[in-house]
Structures are given as C-alpha cells and as structure tokens.
C-alpha cells in the first residue's frame, strides 16, 4: 500500500493518529487528549483545520492533501518574521532557501544584510508578493512551496509521519 492512499478518519488508531493529534495541538486546535485514537474531538479539530482551505474537503477525513496542508501550516507556524538587521538560524534558513531557488549568490552567514534584503525583494517581485524585503508568512509560504516542489508527493506524506517531524 502506498502513502497516497493514506486516510485517517474517526475510529483510526495508532502512531499516525498520535502524530496528527500532536500537529493539530501545535497548531492550536483542540484534539482533547493526545492518545492515538481518532475520536470526535480529533475529527472536529480536523474539520476546523480544513475550513479555511478551499482545495480541501471539510469532512474531518485526513487524506494526503490534508496531510500536506498540515505539514505546510506546521512549518509556517515555526517561522519568525525577519528583516534587515535580523540574525540567526532563521536567516541562515532563508539564505539557504534563496540559494536553492537560484535567487542571487548569497553568503549563508545568518546575517540579514543589504544583499540578503535585495535578494528577498527580487524573490518577492518574481513571486508577485509585496516587495518590501521583509520575510513574513507570505514570503515564507512561497519559499516553502519552491523548496518542496521537487520532493515526490509520497515522500512528503511519509516525511510528515517521520519520527523527527517536519
């Protein structure tokens, strides 16, 4: 059985349900107790998660598309808004992702200087985003999409359930 056929729904149990409950909890959805049992509270949390996304059914069933959206939402929830003058791991990650996307030649040094800002603005313009050089949710989301597009669908679903997480 391949991961593209994974479906978690009310009544399911096990590690994958536990992982789902952990992620939903991190995203501030109430699943009740994290116990590996897909009950009514987990189903209600999934429906609430699905509602803002037009491409997802709002049925409380976790298919591969819902898993991929959960993965993206979790990843984005862990990103900080950064701008010129910022320092640290988030900046290193940004610089690495811009390099991966072939936007300029940046030194991955964890310092958001003028060159990083100019590269961010170029990226934002190319992606139809507000070109302000500030990396917030929309810019991070666009970078996430670019970084994940080469990873096969099934591998992305498998990665969601990996012990290390997202």
- Cα separation of 126 and 117, whole Å? 14
Express each pLDDT in 70-119 by its tens digit: 999 999 999 999 999 999 999 999 999 998 888 878 889 999 999 999 99
Q: With 80 as the cut, is the pLDDT of residue 149 above it?
A: no
Query: 5: pLDDT confidence band, cut at 50, 70 and 90?
Result: low
- Cα separation of 27 and 22, whole Å? 9
The reply to whether the predicted model has a pTM over 0.75 is yes
- Cα separation of 54 and 23, whole Å? 20
SS3 state at 52: coil
């Amino acid at each position: 059985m391949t991961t593209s056929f994974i479906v978690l729904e009310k009544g399911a149990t096990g590690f994958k349900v536990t992982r789902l409950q952990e992620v939903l909890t991190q995203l501030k959805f109430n699943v009740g107790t994290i116990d590996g049992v897909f009950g009514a509270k987990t189903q209600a949390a999934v429906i609430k998660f699905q509602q803002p996304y037009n491409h997802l059914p709002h049925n409380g069933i976790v298919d591969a598309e819902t898993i991929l959206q959960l993965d993206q939402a979790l990843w984005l929830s862990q990103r900080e808004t950064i701008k010129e003058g910022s320092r640290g791991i988030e900046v290193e990650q940004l610089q690495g992702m811009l390099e991966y996307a072939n936007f300029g030649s940046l030194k991955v040094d964890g310092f958001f200087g003028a060159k990083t800002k100019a590269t961010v603005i170029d990226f934002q313009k190319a992606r139809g985003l507000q070109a302000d050089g500030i990396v917030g949710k929309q810019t991070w989301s666009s970078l996430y999409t670019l970084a994940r597009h080469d990873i096969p669908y099934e591998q992305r679903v498998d990665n969601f359930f990996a012990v290390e997480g997202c």
